[in-house]
Amino acid sequence: MNDVAETHALFSIRRATVADSDGILKCLHAAFEPFKTSYTPGAYADTVLDATTLKERLREMTVFVAVCQSQIIGTIACKMLDGEEGHLRGMAVLPDWQGKQAAQQLLDRAEFELREAGCKRITLDTTAPLQRAVRFYERNGFRKTGRITDFFGMPLFEYDKKLSVPR
């Protein structure tokens, strides 16, 4: 894989650009709206982002989008934290696209990116309300580390996955 869009039957996965900002924000808001009342205001704002925080994420992380007919239907961000650890953040898929492989393809693309960079361990953090996401991550080899941090007044649970590095 490279920066060329990876095409699937109904959508493609590609790196996001600043021009994708509105679509990414709409996707994050639509995906997390059902959980808004389960989040503290600070946690929700940090999850769904705004124009300023998204610009920062695009600068600091590699962001991918799933696109169908020029509409952003999903997103994920990844970043190498050190020489061997990568981190995932901001996974979201529009409600109408959940369960249709967009999340799987986004996760696979982010994992590929991190593996190519020499990553041996990927971490992600999630909250208790996101049980469907937890099951998805567990099906993909992520396990609870036992580390729980404070996320704007609510518990944030760390998961990790060990990767094999390409030869």
> What's the CATH number where 75 sits?
3.40.630.30
144 within a domain of the structure (yes/no): no
Sign of CA dihedral 105, 26, 3, 114: negative
96 within a domain of the structure (yes/no): yes
Q: Domain count for the chain, please give it.
A: 1
Length of the chain: 167
Which amino acid would we find at residue 162?
K
What pTM was estimated for this model as a whole? 0.91
Per-residue pLDDT of the chain (167 residues; tens, 9 = 90+): 444 444 456 899 999 999 999 999 999 999 999 999 999 999 999 999 999 999 999 999 999 999 999 999 999 999 999 879 999 999 999 999 998 999 999 999 999 999 999 999 999 999 999 999 999 999 999 999 999 999 999 999 999 999 875 55
Backbone φ and ψ for 45, nearest 5 degrees, come out as -60, -40
Distance CA 78, CA 52 (A): 18
